[in-house]
Amino acid sequence: MKQFVLNIILIIVSVCTYGQTYITVYTKFGNPIEAMIRTEMTNTEKEDALEWVSTNFPNATILSEPTALYNCHSYAWNMQDGGPTCWINGNANLSVYWSSREYYSTTTASNAVKIHYYNGDHSAITSPTVSGKYLSKWGSLPLMLHDPDYCPYSPGKNYYSKRTFFNNILECSISSRGVYVGEIANYYITNNIITPYGYTLDYIWSIVDNKEGENVIGTVATVTENGDNANISFNKSGLYTITCDVYTSMGEYISSYWIEGVVE
C-alpha cells in the first residue's frame, strides 16, 4: 500500500513537471494552426540521440542539439516565418500553409523554398547557403543539413514557393517581391484609357482583405489617390485585392483594373 501511494505521488509530481500544452500559431495571412508546447528531453536522452544520428547519418551536418521543443513542420513553415518555438503535427493541420489563399503555392524542385515529404510526414527548407541541400529538423533529433534523400524519410515530395502576384492590368511599383508591411508602393494602370469627349475620368479605389472579404481602406490600408495611380501601404500582412474602377464624370462605368497583392 505504501509503495502504491508513493508511486501515485511520484507520478503526480512528475506529470506536473512534464507534459505539453496546445497553443495556436498563425500563418502569414492569419489562418490558425494548432501547435504544441512540449517538454524538453533530458541531457542523457539528448546525448543518446546525438550519438545515434551522428553514427548513422555521417554525411549529414548536425546544426543543433536534439530537442523535443520543435519539429520539422514548425521549423519549416512557422519558425522560418517568425513564429514561436513549438511543435506542429502534420496532415490537415499543415496543409493550411499551402491552401489556395495562403502564402505558398506548389512549384518545381528547382524553384522550391519549402518541401513537404508527403509519405514521411516531414518538411524541410532549401538551404540558403549550400546549393542542392535541405535544412530540416528530424523529429526530436537535431536540425540537420542534408541531401534531399539522405534522411530518415520516404522520398516522395511536394515543392512550394512564395505565391506570385495575380495580376490583371493593375501594376505595382514593387513587382519582384511581396510588399512589406508599412512600405508604400505605387499601384497604377498601364492601359491608355480613351476618355469620352467632354468628360473626365473618375477613379474609384477599393481594397479587400481576401481572407475576411472586407474593405480595409482606412483600417489596414492607407491610400493616397493620384487619379490613375495610388500610393498604398498596409499595416498588416495578408493577401489583398486592390481594384481601381474607372467611370466617366457622368457616372458611366468604363472598366476595372485589379491586382492581388501579397503583403508580408
Partner 1 sequence: MKNITFMVVFLSFILASCNKDASIDKVDETCEFKENVPYSFELVTKPSVWATFKSLKEMQDACQIPENWLDKISTKNLIETCMNYPLYGMYMAYNNEMDGIKEIMCNFNGFQELKKRGDAAEKLLDYYDNVSVATKSNGGNLDILNPIHIGYLELILASDEIFPISKDKNTQRLEKLMKENLNEKIKHSEIFSINTVRKSLLIGAKIKLKTISLSTRDSVLLNQFVERGGIVSDPFMYTEISNIVK
Judged by the rule CB under 8 A, the positions of this chain that interact with partner 1 are: 7-8, 10-12, 14-22, 36, 38-42, 44-45, 48-49, 52-53, 56, 58-59, 66, 68, 71-73, 87, 89-90, 120-122, 138-141, 147, 149-155
The three-class DSSP label of residue 171 is strand
Q: Which of 189, 213, 215, 214 minimizes the C-alpha distance to 202?
A: 189
User: Quick one: DSSP state of residue 194?
Assistant: P
Residue 66 or 238: which CB sits closer to partner 1? 66
CB of 77 to partner 1, least distance (A): 13
Task: Give all strands (DSSP E) within the chain, no chain letters.
Answer: 21-26, 32-37, 61-62, 104-106, 114-117, 122-126, 134-137, 143-146, 157-162, 166-168, 170-172, 185-189, 201-209, 221-225, 229-234, 238-248, 253-263
Q: Which is nearer to partner 1, 10 or 250 (CB)?
A: 10
Place of cell 519539429: 71
Q: How far is the CB of 234 from partner 1 (least distance, A)?
A: 35
| Consecutive H or E run containing 4 | helix 2-17
Nearer to partner 1, 118 or 150 (CB): 150
Question: Least distance to partner 1 from the beta carbon of 53, Å?
Answer: 7
Query: What would the grid cell of residue 145 be?
Result: 543539413
Reported as half-sphere exposure (CB side, CA atoms, 13 A), residue 225 has a value of 14
Which grid coordinates are listed for 227? Answer: 487619379
Measured from the CB atom, is 33 or 221 closer to partner 1? 33
**Closest distance of CB 68 from partner 1, Å:** 5
| Smallest distance, partner 1 to C-beta of residue 101, A | 26
Q: Which is nearer to partner 1, 53 or 262 (CB)?
A: 53
